[in-house]
Amino acid sequence: MIRPLLVCLAFALLAFVPLVSVAQEQPPAPDTPKVKEYATYDALFDDFDKRRKVLITQFERLQQKERVEPNELRKAEGELMALDHEYAGALRMYIDNHTGAKDLMPARFENAVTLSRLEDRLQDAVKAADEFLKNHADSDLAPDARFVKAQTLFRMPGSEDVALVALEQFIEKHPERQDANAARMMRVRTLLFLDRVADAKRALDMLIKSDKVKGDEDARAFLQGQLDALDWIGRDMPAFSIKDVDGKALASADWIDKPYLVFVWDTTSAPCLGELPFVQEVHKRHGEKMPVLGISVNESKPAFEQWLGRNPDAIKFRSAWMDRVEEGTLIKKLSVSVIPFNVLVDAKGKVYRYDVRSDDLMRYAARLAK
């Protein structure tokens, strides 16, 4: 019986997903206990299913609290991650020790899916997906395993060429599946990772003109917005001259021959606060080679300064305030309409990526800072 703890389709993005991802950096997992051996896959599944439900209930209760300390959430996330590590170990032991068992198919599938949830085990997830496909290529779960493999490769910096092949093969084999749309969008992002901007534009344009999108005005509008954003790539970054919150002058000319990041945000916006850790990490890892400029569009400069006073350690990069409706500002020159917003500028003063966030931001920043 196939009873996956988390079915592969849970990993599929929505039919049309943005060209950004919002996955947070995973907390360190506690030490994994010694792996227990199980006689059947059902027994293994039932044990971990019960334990996962307990941890998920605890995590959901934490999220519902009015005040919760970040370390409490990180501890709960770490416990869930540790369970996944243990689950993967138990699945591996079961597969290796029961080579003739009739329930190896769900065990192999679960192993690939579980490993794909663990950032430090992505290579193993790809191997597990390949193992599943080698042994069960004609099963109903084969398309899901192909998606797990393609999506996992997509998440691995340095594997872009292989990821592109896997995504294209998945789309070709399973063009009508719902997760094929997610694969198509990952393909666009992979082409951008490979700096194949023209190919990414063509892929988006084809998707916009496809029969499925023609009948969905929301999807069409979203994808057209993504295509319009790609038109910014390669343009000259608009010149600017501002004063930061400390009253020090800063101009784009100060960063000639240096790549840099401009982050537009508002401290009252939950999505912006969710984006802030990624920008902080860019500054921490690459700030010397690639400066970061944060531009607050809070309702007023005093409101932003008051937030900084309450959160003195919240940001380490240079920051300024800007009126979001005033004409002639950098905000207007960049046509910023949605926040959070990031624009990456290369050392030649050209827009390298426009409106990019989260994990994609980290990948591009590492490349620009080299």
Residue 11 has pLDDT above 50, yes or no: no
- Asked whether residue 84 is domain-assigned, the answer is yes
Average pLDDT over all residues of the chain = 89
Q: Which domain holds residue 336?
A: 241-368
pLDDT for 6: 41
Residue ending a domain, choose from 164, 195, 226: 195
Q: Total domain count for the chain?
A: 2
- Assess whether 268 and 349 both reside in one domain: yes
- Assess whether 173 and 247 both reside in one domain: no
* CATH classification at residue 73: 1.25.40.10
Residue 330 has pLDDT above 90, yes or no: yes
- Assess whether 186 and 68 both reside in one domain: yes
Average pLDDT over residues 248-268: 95
- Asked whether residue 216 is domain-assigned, the answer is no
- Assess whether 127 and 245 both reside in one domain: no
- Asked whether residue 205 is domain-assigned, the answer is no
* CATH classification at residue 295: 3.40.30.10
- Assess whether 188 and 246 both reside in one domain: no
- Asked whether residue 151 is domain-assigned, the answer is yes
- Assess whether 80 and 174 both reside in one domain: yes
Q: How many CB atoms lie within 10 A of CB 101?
A: 14
- Asked whether residue 295 is domain-assigned, the answer is yes
- Assess whether 117 and 40 both reside in one domain: yes
pLDDT for 66: 77
Q: What is the pLDDT of residues 207-236, one digit of tens each?
A: 999 887 888 889 899 999 999 999 999 999
Q: Is 269 exposed, middle or buried (0-12, 13-18, 19+ CB in 10 A)?
A: middle
pLDDT for 214: 80
Residue 4 has pLDDT above 50, yes or no: no
pLDDT for 155: 95
Residue 8 has pLDDT above 90, yes or no: no
pLDDT for 24: 43
Q: What is the pLDDT of residues 72-100, one digit of tens each?
A: 888 999 999 999 999 999 999 999 999 99
- Helix orientation angle between 104-116 and 142-154, rounded to the nearest 10 degrees: 20
**Separation CA 223–CA 16 (nearest Å):** 8
- Assess whether 187 and 258 both reside in one domain: no
Q: How many CB atoms lie within 10 A of CB 348?
A: 12
- Assess whether 258 and 150 both reside in one domain: no
Average pLDDT over residues 275-292: 95
- Asked whether residue 225 is domain-assigned, the answer is no
**Separation CA 290–CA 49 (nearest Å):** 45
Residue 183: partners with Cβ closer than 8 Å, 6 or more residues away = 147, 150, 151, 167, 170, 171
Average pLDDT over residues 14-38: 53
- Asked whether residue 203 is domain-assigned, the answer is no
Residue ending a domain, choose from 169, 195, 221: 195
- Assess whether 191 and 67 both reside in one domain: yes
